[in-house]
Amino acid sequence: MESMHAVAITGPLPVSDPECFVDVDLPVPEPGPHDLLVEVQAVSVNPIDVKLRKGAGTLSHPRVLGFDAASVVRAVGSEVNGFSAGDKVWHSGNRDRPGTYSQFTLVDSQIVSKRPSSLSIAEAASLPLTALTSWEALIDHIRLGTLEERTDKAFLMIGGAGGVGSAAIQLACAITNGPVVATSSRPESAQWCQNMGATGIINHREPLAPQVKDLGIAGFDGVLSAYTPPASALAEIIAPFGHLVMIDGTDSFDLMAFKSKSLTVTSESMFSRLQFRTADVAEQGRALANIADLVDKGQIRPTMTRHIEGLTAQHVREATAAIESGAMIGKVVITL
C-alpha cells in the first residue's frame, strides 16, 4: 500500500511541547463515491485547529488536523461530476475525517471548487475557510447584500485583522455601498483593516457606542464578531431588526438586551452543512466558486502574511504558535 507523509497530534499537548505535533507515515486513502483524492500543495492554519488539538483528549491513533488547502486532484470517486485528475482546486474540509496536514487527503467534491487562476498556490490556501465563514455570515445569515444586488446596509467586523475579519471586510465591500467598519486595537492591525477596504476603524478595547456615533453611523444592520463583547454594548450600536453573527461562541450572552430592538443572533460554523449532511451541502462548493471569481476580478485579495516552506511537525508547531499568540494579522501558510 502506498504511504504518505503527514503531520499529526497524539493528544492535547501545549504548543510549547516539541512533541505537540509529530511527523508520521500513513496509507494514502482511497476515495469514496463522492470524494476527490487531492494532493495537497499548501495549507493554512486556523484557530479551529488549535481548539481541536486542545480538546483532543487521549487518542488511540495519531490525528491529522488541517482544513484549508490548495490542491491538485489526483483521483475522483465513481459518482463525482465536474472534476477530473489534474484540476487545481481549493477547499476547506470536514471535522469528521483526517485533515490537510498531509501529502494527500480526501474531500467531499460538493465542498470543492476550482481555485482562482490569479493566485499563487500559497495565496490560494489562505482563503477558503475564512472566506466561506464570511460568505455564510454576510450573505446567508445577515443578508447584507448579494453579488447581483448591492445594498446600502452598514456592517461592522469585530476583530478585523484576523483571518475571518480580513475576508469579511473585503466581501462586505463587494456587496454593500454602506459603511464597512472594523475594530482593531493596534496601529498595525488598524492599517491592515484599512488595506482590506474598511471605511472606518474603531477600537474594541474602548466603549463602542461613542466611537460609532463619531463615525456618523446610527446603527449597524449586520455585525460579525470574532470575539463577542457584552450584549448590552452591542445592542447600543446595532440598528433595529439588525443581525449579529458570532464565530467565537460564548458561555454567557444576555439575549434580553437584544429584545427591545428585535435583534437576531446566529452562531456560525462553516462545518455545519457537511457535519449534518444538510440538503444544501453543495452550496459550499458554489460559494467557493463565487469567491474564486471575486478574487480573479480583484475584489478579494489573499490574506497571507507569513509563508513557511515545508510541511513538517516543527513548521506546523511554529505556525500554530503564531496563531496562539493572539497577535496574528492575516494568515500563515505552509507550502509542501
Burial (Cβ within 10 Å: 0-12, 13-18, ≥19) of residue 156: buried
Dist CA 131 CA 123 (whole Å): 13
Question: What's the pLDDT tens digit per position in 145-203?
Answer: 999 999 999 999 999 999 999 999 999 999 999 999 999 999 999 999 999 999 999 99
Question: What's the pLDDT tens digit per position in 86-99?
Answer: 999 999 988 889 99
φ, ψ at 37 (rounded to 5°): -90, 120
User: What's the pLDDT score for residue 57?
Assistant: 86
How far CA 238 is from CA of 134, 264, 268, in Å, comes to: 19, 10, 18
Determine which helix (DSSP H) or strand (DSSP E) holds 8, and give its type and residue range. Answer: strand 3-8
Look at residue 1 and tell me whether its pLDDT is greater than 80: no
Contact 31, 112 (CB under 8 A): no
Determine which helix (DSSP H) or strand (DSSP E) holds 56, and give its type and residue range. Answer: none
User: What's the pLDDT score for residue 327?
Assistant: 86
Look up the pTM and report it: 0.96
pLDDT band at 249, cuts 50/70/90?
A: confident
Please report the sign of the dihedral spanned by the C-alpha atoms of residue 314, residue 316, residue 322, residue 325.
negative
Interacting residues of 216 by C-beta distance below 8 A, sequence separation 6+:
none
Question: What's the pLDDT tens digit per position in 268-303?
Answer: 999 999 999 999 999 999 999 999 999 999 999 999
Provide the b/e sequence for 206-237 (b: ≥16 CB within 10 Å): eebeebbeeeebebbbbbbbbebbebeebbbb
Q: What does the mean pLDDT of the chain come to? A: 96
- Tell me, letter by letter, the H, E, C secondary structure of 230-242: CHHHHHHHEEEEE
Instruction: Tally Cβ neighbours within 10 Å of residue 155.
Output: 28
- What's the distance, CA 26 to chain centroid? 27
Contact 163, 130 (CB under 8 A): yes
Q: Any idea which residue has 484576523 for its cell?
A: 162
C-alpha cell at 71: 490542491
Dist CA 225 CA 242 (whole Å): 14
Q: Any idea which residue has 501529502 for its cell?
A: 103
